[in-house]
Structure 1
Amino acid sequence: MPSRRALLSAIGTAASVGTAGCVGRIRRELVGYTPIEDPCDNPTGTWPTAGGDPGRTGRADTAPPAPDAAAVDLLAAARDDGQQQHASTLPVVADGTAYIPVTGGLVAVDLDAPMNGPIWDRDLDNGITAVPVLACGAVFAPGMNQLAALDRASGERYWRADAVSHHRNDATAAALDDTIYVAGFSPAAVDIRTGTVQWLEGAGGTLALDDDGVYTTRSDSQISGIFAYDLNGEERWRISGEFVGSASVLNGMVWVADYRGTASAIDARTGEVYWSRSLSGVSKVDSGLAVAGDEVFVPAGTGTTSVALDATTGEIRWAVDTGIVTGRPVVGDDWVAFGRTNDGVSVYDRSTGEERTTWSRAEHHLGTIDGVVPVKEGFVIREGSSSGLSLLR
């Protein structure tokens, strides 16, 4: 059987092709097309996609900020026609640089010198609707009409592809090997180097990946559930339900929470549900979960309580009163952080749930907290009420 790369390359020479089965429409944009030739080694100090990795585990290998950390406005020197730009989503980070979606485009900012202004600033005519993806020396920007591939160092465009992200959810794109997957009305698989697109039949407002499959969630008036596909787009299984946030995938298991606050563990290969647990104080988890080792961390969503569960059994290990948490948790070696929407960012002991440190909104002059990205000895915080972006370090 040919590889996904070979398949995509072979079909990419046609402008538009209709086929039967899982492939619906295939097209490659040729205007301004430049292939990506950089090596695909992982950059250092990286948070390359929403949730930190294609499985959306929320796992960080960095340390949290010091208790006396200060907050700096990352976009204070990023201006457009004299007006400060605002973050439309969380950024991605590599080698000390944050790649930040702003109104109408993307900017690259040095985390050590944000007041010097952007390293580069690129206008994108279709905007960015989701967290970008870093891979192969490029940054990929999911938009309402196209997926744009830009050079990480300069912001120059490689190619644009007809992979459409209509859903304003952070976790709509992720890369695996030589392919980037984009959720939209249907999932799309795009060759990283050439921009060749294979449209797949299916459902997907969010997606997560492992080495063996693509896991999407969707909840709207037409279809709702969690769906599993192999890497060629063939559906394996589906489970109905009001799933909005993305799944988390690790070691052959899928964890997901529904709109009512029920968390479930599912066999990634077969779709067998190992356990489901209704969690008091958890509601409308739009952001998704985090998982590390044998623990699953469920944010409160629009509820009041965030919970740590045994990943294997679903038993509650601890629960804390966080208030509303609309962003995905971030998990370190022995800590877990929640962006508490109305209160601040708090770090808890991963084993016991004991609170270690809180950086309050009032003290650090933050807006409502929409999400957190870990960086070296710090956090980048998106402020939902103001669309601001602060570095806490």
Structure 2
Amino acid sequence: MPFRRALLSAIGTTASVGTAGCVGRIRRKLRGDTPIEDPCNAPTGSWPTAGGDSGRTGQTDTAPPAPDATAVDLLAGVRGNDRGQQHASNPPVVADGIAYIPVTGGLVAVDLNTPTDGPSWSRDLDVGITAAPVLACGAIFIPGTDHLTALNSTSGERYWRADAVGFSDTSAAVLDNSIYVAGFSPAAVDIRTGTVQWLEGAGETLALDDDGIYTTRSDSQVSGIFAYDLNGEERWRVSGEFVGSASVLDGTVWVADYQGTAYAIDARTGEVYWSHSLPGVNKIDAGLAVAGDEVFVPAGTGTTSVALDAATGEIRWAVDTGIVTGRPVVGDNWVAFGRTNDGVSVYDRTTGEERISWSRAEYHLGTIDGLVPVKDGFMIWEGSSSGLSLLR
């Protein structure tokens, strides 16, 4: 039974505090809910979830901005739409040239080709948005303080609302016909109907591959990274103070702890292939990026961002980026770091040589807490000021 299997697999921290299993309560569907019937083809030119994909690899097939790029305030047109003072409460997602932006009191859709014209549509929500949204099946899924809400991505009309909530950028992800949400009460939600089955425990982050779910948790009860198969059975756990989400690709999980040690772990067995303490790296909240045979580790609150050999963990290059609180973005031959207090810099993936940089002061940006790649540019989430700029 695929749906039951999906339900049992949700949010693997269940077994960290007891025996994994369902409470056994299925949500009664709210009156007026509409099932999603659109085909689940992947949107083009997209960044549909935090980290770019459910594995949180940070990979993109877009190109970085031109050296003479300009910066546009993406919320200027929203404020001019009689919505008052607006802030970007969480990082946006994007598909087919439309950015879906969590703002004060709701969500707005902005055409990136005409960003100053105001939103294509806006939807007020009666709960705050607590995590990055997720795009799938022609819908956008929005974790809030009390509910997971599914909206039509073209019109903003509501499909359904489910009793689920996520608390971090990487707390929601899609696998097959389910959307998984990590939070105070973790849940697996049928993507088409919004039907929920609760599970025990609580996870803080989620990363998925076709064969497992990988969560991190750090609190007074238990801390570590946990892996579960799609039958809900715990495969393995590795203890440690892991805060940012894991990245998973081709059977390997990469994660970093709060002290700046990076790990490579067999996704099926939990064998730690290698672990290396990285000088100049500290307190990584956002997670890593991985592509090909390289792993990219942001400085966190430290001073140095590094590229590692994915197979051995050896340092290939290191650059003085200063603080980097967002996940790196990896293109075909480049990697970008949002240098929190300084600007956005693009480096050669192989050598670490800086190709180009856009100064925070010159472009009048707030603190840079996250990058979302778009065609020929980046959206820059300015977390402390809750601003959002398009650099293109």
**TM-score bucket (shorter structure):** over 0.9
Counterpart residue number, 1:76: 76
2:384 equivalent to 1:352: no
Query: In the alignment, is residue 157 of structure 1 matched against residue 158 of structure 2?
Result: yes
CA distance in 2, matches of 1:142, 1:51: 16
Q: Which amino acid aligns with 1:264?
A: Y
- Give 1:58's aligned residue: 58
Paired AA for residue 140 in structure 2: V
Aligned-pair distance for 1:198?
Answer: 2.1
Match of 1:15 in 2: none
Summarize deviations over 1:60-92 as a string: whole Å, max 9, x none. Answer: 000000000000011101137552311011100
Shift of 1:202: 3.8
Deviation (angstroms), 1:5:
6.7
Once the two structures are TM-superposed, the CA of residue 188 in structure 1 deviates from its matched residue by 1.7
Find the aligned partners of 1:43 and 1:105 in 2 and give their Cα distance.
23
Compared CA separation, residues 208 and 28, structure 1 to 2 (3 A): farther
Residue aligning to 2:34 = 34
Deviations 1:308-346 (A, max 9, x none): 001111000000000000000000000000000000000
- Assess if the C-alpha contact under 8 Å between 1:327 and 1:372 holds in 2: yes
Equivalence map 1:1-393=2 (5 Å) = 2-4=1-3, 22-24=21-23, 25-79=25-79, 83-165=84-166, 167=167, 169-393=168-392
Aligned length: 379
2: CA distance, partners of 1:141 / 1:91: 11
Q: How big is the shift at 1:200?
A: 2.4
Mapped partners of 1:31, 1:340: distance in 2: 47
SS at structure 2 position matched to 1:100:
strand
Q: Which runs of 5+ in 1 are unaligned?
A: 9-19
Contact 1:28 1:195 in 2 (8 A): no
- What TM-score results when the alignment is normalised by the length of structure 2? 0.94
The answer for unaligned runs of 5 or more in structure 2 is: 8-18
Q: Distance in 1 between matches of 2:327 and 2:220?
A: 25
Which of 59-68 and 230-239 deviates more? 230-239
CA distance in 1, matches of 2:28, 2:238: 33
Q: Describe the superposition over 1:9-35 as per-residue Cα deviations: whole angstroms up to 9, x where unpaired.
A: xxxxxxxxxxx9511243243233110
2:6–2:188 contact (8 Å) kept in structure 1: no
Greater Cα offset, 226-235 or 34-43: 226-235
Distance 2:232 2:284 in 1: 27
User: Could you tell me which residue of structure 2 aligns to residue 12 of structure 1?
Assistant: none
Query: Is residue 45–residue 374 contact of structure 2 (8 Å, CA) maintained in 1?
Result: yes
Q: Contact (CA 8 Å) 2:6, 2:230: kept in 1 or not?
A: no
Distance 1:300 1:6, change over 3 A: closer
**Amino acid of the structure 1 residue aligned with 2:27:** R
Amino acid at match of 1:193: R
Tell me if structure 1 keeps the 8 A contact 2:20–2:232.
no
TM-aligned CA deviation for residue 186 of structure 1:
4.7
Measured in 2, the distance between the counterparts of 1:26 and 1:151 equals 24
Measured in 2, the distance between the counterparts of 1:147 and 1:297 equals: 32
Helix, strand or coil: the match of 2:361? helix
Query: Does the 8 Å contact 1:218/1:225 carry over to 2?
Result: yes
Structure with the bigger RCO (C-alpha within 8 Å, sep 6+) is: 2
Secondary structure at the counterpart of residue 206 of structure 1: coil
Which AA in structure 2 matches 1:125?
Answer: D
1:163–1:355 CA distance, 2 compared to 1 (3 A):
same
1:143: how far off? 1.1
Q: What is the match of residue 15 of structure 2? A: none
- CA deviation after TM superposition for structure 1 residue 95, in Å: 0.5
**1:189: how far off?**
1.2
Q: Deviations over 1:192-216 (max 9, x none)?
A: 0011112223441000000001111
Question: Deviations for 1:245-268, whole angstroms, at most 9, x for unmatched residues?
Answer: 000000010000000000000111
- Quick one: distance in 2 between partners of 1:84 and 1:114? 17
Q: RMSD of aligned C-alpha atoms?
A: 1.5
Find the aligned partners of 2:6 and 2:370 in 1 and give their Cα distance.
37
Distance 1:233 1:145, change over 3 A: farther
TM, length-normalised to structure 1: 0.94
Shift of 1:223: 2.2
Counterpart amino acid of 2:333? D
Asked whether the equivalents of residues 203 and 217 of structure 1 are also in contact (C-alpha less than 8 Å), the reply is no
Q: Distance in 2 between matches of 1:57 and 1:82?
A: 35
| Match in the other structure for 1:14 | none
1:35-54 residue CA offsets vs partner (Å, 9 max, x unmatched): 00000011111100000000
Aligned residues of 1:201 and 1:233 also touching (Cα < 8 A): no
Q: Matches of 1:58 and 1:82 in 2, distance apart?
A: 32
Structure 1 range deviating more: 297-306 or 224-233:
224-233
**What is the rounded CA distance, in whole Å, between the counterparts of 1:361 and 1:260 in structure 2?**
27
